[in-house]
Chain A
Amino acid sequence: GQQLNQSPQSMFIQEGEDVSMNCTSSSIFNTWLWYKQDPGEGPVLLIALYKAGELTSNGRLTAQFGITRKDSFLNISASIPSDVGIYFCAGHGRNNAGNMLTFGGGTRLMVKP
């Protein structure tokens, strides 16, 4: 099935470093979403973006909806050990019979204390 191109697939960083990940698509989306999945848990919605060019923050997290509506990025500043997990992007488009999301493959973040 269709997936968004999410990169990098994994990152191993030092505590305190900033993190950046992104998603790209060949299709236009009207909403971009970013989720975090902790080990053994379900994905939790971090940020939702509704307008092209929108920049939204949630604590140390900042996400942007690309101006072309085909990409989005997520930045995490000053990483801490509890940032460990898998981050997923997802896109939502119009005329979507099942109101479905298209997901990226995930970025696995590992933080070294």
Chain B
Amino acid sequence: DAGITQSPRHKVTETGTPVTLRCHQTENHRYMYWYRQDPGHGLRLIHYSYGVKDTDKGEVSDGYSVSRSKTEDFLLTLESATSSQTSVYFCATMPGEREASFSEQFFGPGTRLTVL
């Protein structure tokens, strides 16, 4: 398993406050992803990164921004949290195309975020 950690693991915040979630990996994987998981919706991609400072939007990117200043860290920011962003957030990584397991994605343990 890729060494992927997420922090914090749990957070309760109030509507309108900014929130930043951190994903840290120790496997030197090129690609990193942020998903949210809600009942009835499965895993939905928020943003992804294909390299340092290279990011793009996923299917549910509104209200979220990301940054990747170094290979190992991928930050997800909710600029002004809303109750609809209450969810479980997962970070994932994938190796680059030159690696044997390049089509395998590895997940972090998740962050449970509650916006009151």
Contacts and interface: CB of A to CB of B under 8 A. Distances in A.
Contacts of A23: none
B31 A98 contact: yes
Majority DSSP secondary structure for residues of A touching B:
loop
Contact of A33 (B43, B50, B105): B105
Contact of B109 (A30, A41, A97, A98): A41
B43 A98 contact: no
A49 to B, nearest CB: 10
Nearest to B47: A98
A92 interface: yes
A88 B48 contact: no
What size tier do the contact residues of chain A reach?
Answer: 20 to 34
Interface stretch (B14-22, B63-71, B77-85, B96-104): B96-104
Interface in A45-99: 45, 48, 50, 88, 90, 92, 97-99
A99 B102 contact: yes
B42 A3 contact: yes
A105 B40 CA distance: 8
B110 A41 contact: yes
Contact of A100 (B45, B90, B102): B45
- The 3 A-B pairs at the shortest CB distance, nearest first, are namely A42-B107, A1-B59, A92-B103
